[in-house]
Amino acid sequence: MSELNLKEVLDFCIDLARKAGAEINAGSEKRLKEGTAIDIKLNTADLVTETDQAVEKLVMEAIKAKYPSHKFIGEESYSAGEKAELTDEPTWIVDPIDGTTNFTRANFPFTCISIGFVYKTQPVIGVVYAPRLDHLYYGLSGQGSFLVSPQFKEPRRLPLTKPLPLPSLRQALMALEWGSLRDRATMEKKLGFFERLVGDGDDGVKGGQMLQGVRSLGSAALNFSQVGAGTLDAYHEIGVWSWDVCAGIVIAREAGAVVIGAKSELSKINEPEFFGSISPEVLQGRKYLVVRSIADTPEEKGRAAQIRTIKAIYGALDEWEP
């Protein structure tokens, strides 16, 4: 990777994310003033706007000008029929607007540009910029992840505070999303999972874990970033894509979080290499669980606590297909 100069690539990513953020803000202002076109992709929960397409065009052109030999995977280009195949080549994985439904509400601020960079199938750079909040999250493999915001003018290393213990899900604040898959079979499994996570097992909910709280930001990239920051304890979703999560995976993992794919990955959880890499199957598998960094206690190592938390969450899951 030395020939790529990853620090230079990261700096380029950050500059590009801020330029894309300006385009997103301009689109938000335009929607506030006059309204703009919104197209429906899968259903009314799966939207695309002209700003998505404008931002992806800006990003693609900038990348092709700077790194003409690199590959590109993006939401809008994939929707147009291009393949999203992952190889050993340097590859950019970009969501021009993650949180499109939020964006269509013009001033609901949880909308971001998500730029991930993959080399030899491994996510190594992630930049997530939420322009309405002016929150910039970024991470570089082996170098940590950081937040720059109105509160933190200088890069603040993630997590924002020293990791806390997490004795059980009863102390956990977790992100869950409704997603765009709303058919009956999927909803039955999804609602059952939510019930078991949130319900009180001591008061009639079979398998109830009694989560302390649930949040839905409407953006996979920002959910991953919040887990990295330590603001959320965990996040799970089935049905999102590699461009929704690639950047966030780098940011969260560089902050000590652990990322797992499908429930079947539990069989590998005790293998030494489990915590060391993200396979292409996980990156593109459309099933993700991320758990924040957890402090050691006299009774339990933080890594063991992460594994325990993963098992508790997946113990409540009857998995559905995206």
Q: Which residues are catalytic?
A: 75, 95, 97-98, 100, 244
Q: What is the DSSP string of 247-296?
A: HHHHHHHHTT-EEE-SGGGGGGTTSGGGGT---HHHHTSSEEEEE-----
Q: Dihedrals φ, ψ of 22, to 5°? A: -65, -40
**268 Cβ neighbours under 8 A, 6+ residues apart:** 274
Annotated binding-site residue? 183: no
- Position 242: which residue type? S
97 is in an annotated binding site: yes
Q: Do 217 and 226 contact (CB within 8 A), yes or no?
A: yes
- What is the Rg, in whole angstroms, of the alpha carbon atoms belonging to the chain? 19
Instruction: Compute the half-sphere exposure of residue 189: CA atoms within 13 Å on the CB side of its CA.
Output: 14
Name the strands in the sheet holding 287-291, side by side, starting at the edge strand that comes first in the sequence: 213-215, 173-176, 234-238, 287-291, 258-260
What secondary structure letter does DSSP report for 164? Answer: P
Phi first, then psi: what are they for 71, rounded to 5°?
A: -85, 165
Residue 192 corresponds to which tokens in the numbers above? Answer: 């059952």
Residue 37's φ and ψ, nearest 5 degrees, are: -70, 140
Q: Is 98 annotated as a binding residue?
A: yes
Q: Is 52 annotated as a binding residue?
A: no
Taking CA 214 as the corner, what is the angle to CA 49 and CA 220, rounded to the nearest 5 degrees? 35
DSSP code at position 153: S
CA distance 223 to 204: 30
Angstrom distance (rounded) from CA 72 to CA 86: 10
Instruction: Please enumerate, by residue number, every residue annotated as part of a binding site for Mg(2+).
Output: 75, 95, 97-98, 244
